[in-house]
Amino acid sequence: MLTNRPFAQNKEITIRDVVINVYLGYTELERSFTQKGLLDIKFSLKSNESCQDNLNNLLCYDELIGQVNSLLLNKPFKTVEYLAEEVYFFLKGCYKSIQDLEIKVKKLNPPLSSGAEVGLIEVKMGVYNG
């Protein structure tokens, strides 16, 4: 075991392709049933300590995802943009250690009145590059 080893002060973490079930759509009919989407959460944690192999010192991703899922299932959303913003501010409020937060929400197979077929609509919220 190494002692007094150097440590990375900034840890970038990405949680990608979390399947979400959400009441999402502009019309009341569309919001009357859950729809599948994908959620990406990217952030950095600044730390003055070396990483330990212990959940007591780290952020629990299962807990974070569970809290976001509860938020999404308990509220209908008309727009993907508003949903992304709600997740962003929810996480910023719950986890003060999170920095450089980026939220990406993908609505899969959105029904369009124009009849066009679209695989997804993607919205990014927060700090990101590219």
The model's pLDDT over 7-18, given as tens digits with 9 standing for 90+, comes to 556 788 999 999
The string of DSSP letters for 49-108 reads: S---S-GGGS--HHHHHHHHHHHHHTS-BS-HHHHHHHHHHHHHHH-TTEEEEEEEEEEE
- In CATH, which of 3.40.190.10, 2.60.40.1580, 3.30.1130.10, 3.40.50.2000 is domain 10-126? 3.30.1130.10
Average pLDDT over residues 80-99: 92
What is the domain partition of the chain in residue ranges?
Answer: 10-126
75 pLDDT exceeds 80? yes
112 pLDDT exceeds 60? yes
Question: Whole-model pTM?
Answer: 0.80
pLDDT band at 130; cut points 50, 70, 90: very low
Average pLDDT over residues 84-111: 89
> Helix, strand, coil shares of the chain as percentages rounded to 5?
25, 35, 40
